[in-house]
Amino acid sequence: MKILILTHRVPFPQNGGYPIVVSNTIKGLVDMGHEVSLVSLNARKSHHHHDDEHPDELLKSINYRSYDIDISMSLVEGFLTTFNKNAFNVDRYYNADFERLLIGEVRNNGYDIIQFEGLFVAPYADAVRRNCKSKLVYRAHNIEYQVWERLAHQKSDPLKKFYLGLMSRRIKKYEINQLNKFDAIAAFTAQDQITILGYGIRIPVEIVPVGVDLSHYKPDFSRTEFPSLFFLGSLDWTPNREGIEWFLHAFHSDIENDGLPVKFYVAGNDIPEEFDDYEVMNKIFIQGEVDNALEFVNSKAIMIVPLLSGGGMRVKIVEGMAMQKCIISTTLGAEGINYKNGVNILIANTQDEFYKAIKRCIADEDYCKAVGANARRLIEDQHDAIKVTTKLVELFNGLL
């Protein structure tokens, strides 16, 4: 099968959920003998490393090209978007020159399947449809409007609440209009499948969860600091930033004053400089981007996922479970994972619930290890990349 993957950002290096999912998908398809091409927008705000600064072994097995676009926006431009009816945060990924490049790509290569990785590449669906006979598949990384809607619910400022709600309604309208342009939709979670079907979508909507290559996840408890808490995530994604800010505000005093006698480590991309103010010597560490994410995860004991908004499936939770971590997450953070609370994850939705869960975990290392072991078994059963890729290929074959 000849397959084109279309992304709104370069998925190299694999330093976040989106690039991990895309790269694992490509690797799984290549390993099954399919011919895969990747065309990526390289969306630059103010700075964004070019893909050739991060050589990746996967590039040797696929046909790959990227195209730079600038999605930055001034304060004035952002204000003016309030007065038009478009989903501006999707529109800014549209580029006429890239569309011409993409038209040439699909005309000349006779792809069987073209997979659109998320809503930000959906603006190119019409042009692709007009210029080839390929089957078009939409990968729903999340329900985009829900991210904005949930952010709006978190705001107390009436102007921010109004603006986020307005953006949510515009994105929802755009999302519904776009989805029926595809031949099938692959959703990560049952919740997202239900939401999409509720739009009145008339095409197949299948659940294809996040898959990981388990051979890369090799926990070594001799290198794990116990007790320790950690957060790992990109803070250029607003739900991550708001969640960790809430957690730091809620528990900064407890950790600083030994109400919770544990060290807390915060790592990830694009951590703002003002987060340095949260540091407490030998207790709270703001580390920023780490050289090796899995080594960092392995070195810490208890993973914190205080997500208060957002959608889709949290790839970092799947990875944490694969590394046999004991994870404390909100219900929203663990959405789409077939967990059992208290068995393979701990669910906490309030400050008090997080406090009790942390207290229990830091007092009982054996319990933490048991939760982590159960989590690994869940990932082996339901999120192994081979099983997930097989399910995706079955969806493709059903369209041909």
Task: Judge contact between 211 and 24, C-beta under 8 A.
Answer: yes
197, HSE (Cβ side, Cα atoms, 13 Å): 12
Burial 148-164 (b: 16+ CB within 10 A, else e): bbbbbebbeeeeeeebb
Identify whether the C-beta of residue 208 lies closer than 8 Å to the C-beta of residue 391. yes
- Domain 2-143+175-211+384-399: give its CATH code: 3.40.50.2000
* Options 3.40.50.261, 3.20.20.140, 3.40.50.2000, 2.60.40.10; CATH of 215-382: 3.40.50.2000
Q: Distance (Å, rounded) from C-alpha 255 to C-alpha 249?
A: 11
Q: Which residues, other chains included, contact 385 with Cβ-Cβ below 8 Å and sequence gap of 6+?
A: 24, 27, 28, 211, 212, 213, 214
- Its pTM stands at 0.85
Per-residue pLDDT of the chain (400 residues; tens, 9 = 90+): 999 999 999 888 777 788 889 999 999 999 999 999 999 999 765 444 444 444 577 888 899 999 998 877 555 455 445 555 556 577 789 999 999 999 999 999 999 999 999 999 999 999 999 999 999 999 999 887 777 677 777 777 888 787 778 888 888 888 888 998 999 999 998 889 999 999 898 899 999 999 999 999 999 999 999 999 999 988 888 889 999 999 999 999 999 999 999 999 999 888 999 999 999 999 999 998 898 999 999 999 999 999 987 665 588 899 999 999 999 999 999 988 999 999 999 999 999 999 999 999 999 999 999 999 999 999 999 999 999 999 999 999 999 9
How many contiguous H segments (helices) and E segments (strands) does the chain have? 14, 13
For the chain, domain boundaries:
2-143+175-211+384-399, 215-382
Q: What 3-state DSSP class applies to 322?
A: helix
Residue 60 is predicted with a pLDDT of 85
Q: Are 19 and 9 in contact (CB under 8 A)?
A: yes
pLDDT of amino acid 248:
97
**First-to-final CA distance of the chain:** 10
Asked whether this chain's domains 2-143+175-211+384-399 and 215-382 adopt the same fold, the reply is: yes
